[in-house]
Structure formats: structure tokens, C-alpha cells
Amino acid sequence: MTGPTANIEGKLATIIPSLREGLREDAVRPRKGRVRQVTGFVIHATVDEVRLGEICELVDPKTGRRSKAEVVGLTDEAAVLVPLGDVAGLSSLTEVIPTGRDLQVPVGPGLLGRVISALGEPLDGRPLPQAEINGSYPVNAYPPSPLARTLISEPIQLGIRALDGLLTCARGQRIGIFGEPGVGKSILLSDIVSGTDADVAVVALVGERGREVREFVERQLVQQGKSRAVVVVATSDRPAIERVKAAYVATTIAEYFRDQGKHVLLAMDNITRFARAQREIGLASGEPPTRRGFPSSLFAALPRLLERSGPGRIGSITGLYSVLMEGDGTMDPVAEEIQALLDGHVFLSNELAQRNHFPAIDVLRSRSRLMDAVVSHQHRTHAGRIRELLGRYADIELLLRIGEYEKGSDAVADEAAAKIGRINDFLRQPSATHETMHKTEERMREIVDEGS
Ligand SMILES: Nc1ncnc2c1ncn2[C@@H]1O[C@H](COP(=O)(O)OP(=O)(O)OP(=O)(O)O)[C@@H](O)[C@H]1O
Ligand SMILES: [Mg+2]
């Protein structure tokens, strides 16, 4: 070939490789965006192609400071992000680089006995033992399909007589522990974590005070020697997104142990603070408030979070969620919603706490919807009888107190009055003690059989 054609071909031959190289570079070059606006803890950024839930790196080109943020909303022109950590140091130059990945948390037996943050990082000053970490799990997972779950059929021991005896829970059940501030929710959860026969306990401390976290960790992880517990912490001073993530991260870790065939107890203290943190994020990112100022995204998030516990194909997650209640809880949309979503509710009573009756469980107001499916005929009969006696005693208590009760008119009431002392001894239990299911059943039999 001669003349102009050869000339063009020669030129193309030199240009094409550099074009290819350019294209290849462009494919791997991150799709950078820029911070446009920061209000409170919400960042608006222009960035192409990001998904909800995707993690982006925030990089300040001048200082080199790097941090992470999660995409929580998309508008016409901008992606709405919430930083995972502090906003301090963000500038109008900060670049936003999508990573293509959702938040992940490291999982493995190396987590046992450890305290970790809502971002999956150890908080106790030691690195996680890499040999005992088996990869990572996505934090925003979906609940297992209902048909892939095994049926609930066995009871779980929680170590608290009032619960194991009269409100027996099943492996894979989800229960709410409802109570006003200071009524003993945290202490009850902590006692359950020590007294349960679950293989592993995963504890989420969401929005708690730092002092309480310290006490919990000291008691559960330090004093118990080789621990079967993992504690995930986001104290009240941490950003709202961390308080939300702590609930998801703890659930994810519970899912890992469940997938290993373990029976896991997931204890969350408390889910009201999760709801409030979710409200903070929803409102700050521009969502309209609905019931009591809570955005509708919360009412979508709650069932998705709570459905992730329960029985799996193998293993199970028994979920215990403490719920902060104002008054009797009837006006509280979060408490109402959670009660409707769970398979049981335990109410703690201020009145019992004031009488120094701990754990302050209001047995007559509480229900375990799965109890009948998992206890023996004898256990069911004895529990039913004790409930009946408690109910009848509540009817005559006032008469007894003012000396107006006439013995002999009602046999059940007479028995209730005679046995109330023993029943209360059974229901009261000092903190940091636990009872086996077998012993609890034996004590119930003694109460019912006595005098008959
Ligand atoms: N089993 C128990 N035995 C004796 N005292 C108890 C018991 N449980 C709770 N208490 C008393 O109740 C107090 C409050 O308990 P706890 O911190 O568990 O309440 P809470 O419901 O978690 O409160 P908050 O809503 O503020 O988190 C304790 O400091 C203790 O005095
Ligand atoms: Mg508490």
C-alpha cells in the first residue's frame, strides 16, 4: 500500500493502543464526585451512579483525610450521604468516591469475648485475630425466606424463673422487654445473657451511657472468663448512623453464628434508641415526619431488622429487644409497632420495682405467644395454675389489705392467699443468679402440689 491510505493506517496504528490504554484507565478510575452541601450531619454530593446503601470514600485532596459515608437518599441532582464517623474536617473540596460495596462486618469465632464498634472495629485496643476471622458479612442483608426456616419446636433457657416458668420462650422466638426508664431492663438482659443455654450471645448496646457499657462488659466479658458473648457498642454520644448500624451489625454477627448451626441469643438494649437515631437521620435527610415525628422509613426498617432474627435453615437467633416505654405505652407508635411485630412481650412494672420486687416482670400483662408449642403438658398445666392464682390474688389483694376478705367463700382465692408468698419467692430472683429450666419446673410443681 502506498499514498494517503498507508499514511492514515500508520497513524491509526499509533493512536489505537493509546486510545485503548485511555479507555482501560477510565474504566478503573473511580467515578469521583464532589461535596456540594453539608447541613448538620447530612452531605449532599454530586456523584454519578451510586446505589442506596453504597459506601463512598470521602477524600480531602489537600489534607489527604479519608473517611466513609453511606448513601441514604437520592434527589434530582444529588446523592444524600451520612458520614460513618465525624464530619469535622469536611470541605467543599472533599471528593466523593463510590466504592461499589455496601457496609460489611468481619465475622468469625475471633469475635467471641470482644467489644466492637458499629463499624466492626475492635474497641478494646487489640486487633481482631485474623486467623479466627472467616471473611465478612453484608450488614444490610435480607431476612431468610419464611419457607427456608425450620419450625420452632424447642424451648430456650433464659435462666430467669419468671420467664422460663411462666413465659417460656422458644429457640428462634422474638420478644420485646417493655419498661419505663430505670425499671430494670438492662439488668434483666444482662442476667439473661449469663443464664441462657444459648451457644452464643450477641449483645447490641445502642445509645447507652458509657458507664453502663463499662459495667456490662466488665460483668459479661471479663468476669466470665472464656466468653461466648460478643458486644457491639454505639454509646449515646456517637453519631446517629452508628447507633443505627450497631443494631444491624449485631444482627449480622448473630446471622454468622446461626449459619454455623449455633443457637444464638441476640439481646438489643434498646430498640427505642435505634428508632430515635433512625428518625434523626430520616428528618435530616429531608423525609417528611409521620406518626409522632417518626419518618415512614422507620416503619419499613423495623420489620426488616426484626425479621432477621428467628430460626434459620440451621441454627436459630432468639431475639430479645428492650423497648423504652413512656407511661403505659399506648400512645407510643414505636412501642406499639414493635409489640405487633414480635412473638411475645414482657412488661416490666414500675410498681413492682418500687416494691423492690425484681425482676419487675408483670406476669399477668406479659405473653409468650409460642410457649404452648414448646413446653410439656405438665409445665403448661402448672404455669396455667400459677397464673390463675396470681390473677385471683390481684382481685382480692385490696380486700385482704383492709381486712375485708372472708376466707372460705372461694377455694381458688383461699389458695391464692395462702400461696402468694411462695409464688413471689419463686418470681423474685436476685440479679446475677440463674436457675436451670429443670429446677424452675420442679419449683413450679412444688408450688402447685403443695397442700393438695
Ligand atoms: N434484679 C434486680 N435486683 C435488684 N435491683 C435491681 C434489679 N434490676 C434492676 N434493679 C434496680 O433498678 C435500677 C435500674 O436498672 P436498669 O439500669 O437495668 O434499668 P433500665 O430499665 O435499663 O433503665 P434505663 O431505661 O435508664 O436504661 C438498678 O440500678 C437497680 O437499682
Ligand atoms: Mg438500661
How many other β-carbons are positioned within 10 Å of the β-carbon of residue 40? 12
CB–CB of 168/197 below 8 Å? Answer: no
CA 263 to chain centre: 16
**Does ligand 1 come within 6 angstroms of the Cβ of 359?**
yes
DSSP letter at 222 equals I
Under the banding of pLDDT at 50, 70 and 90, the label for residue 18 is confident
Under the banding of pLDDT at 50, 70 and 90, the label for residue 450 is confident
Of the CA atoms within 13 Å of residue 82, those in its CB half-sphere come to 21
Closest among 449, 193, 23 to 185, alpha carbons compared: 193
CB–CB of 71/51 below 8 Å? Answer: yes
Atom in ligand 1 nearest the alpha carbon of residue 324: 25
Omega before residue 155 within 30° of 0, cis = no
- The yes-or-no verdict on residue 28 having pLDDT over 80 is no
> Counting runs of H as helices and runs of E as strands, what totals does the chain give?
13, 19
- The yes-or-no verdict on residue 451 having pLDDT over 80 is no
- The yes-or-no verdict on residue 2 having pLDDT over 60 is no
- The yes-or-no verdict on residue 394 having pLDDT over 80 is yes
CB–CB of 153/373 below 8 Å? Answer: yes
Sort 94 into a burial class: Cβ within 10 Å, 0-12 / 13-18 / 19+.
buried
Q: Which residue has the higher pLDDT, 41 or 26?
A: 41
- The yes-or-no verdict on residue 372 having pLDDT over 60 is yes
pLDDT for the residue 24: 66
Task: Please compute Rg for the chain using Cα positions.
Answer: 28
Atom 16 in ligand 1: residue holding the nearest Cα: 184
CB–CB of 90/58 below 8 Å? Answer: yes
pLDDT for the residue 224: 64
Cα–Cα distance measured from residue 173 to residue 285, given in angstroms and rounded to the nearest whole number: 34
pLDDT for the residue 226: 56
CB–CB of 393/420 below 8 Å? Answer: yes
**What is the distance in A from the centroid of ligand 1 to the CA of 182?**
5
Query: DSSP string of 56-78?
Result: EEEE-TTT--EEEEEEEEE-SS-
Which ligand has an atom closest to residue 213 CA?
A: 2
Which ligand has an atom closest to residue 183 CA?
A: 1
Under the banding of pLDDT at 50, 70 and 90, the label for residue 327 is confident
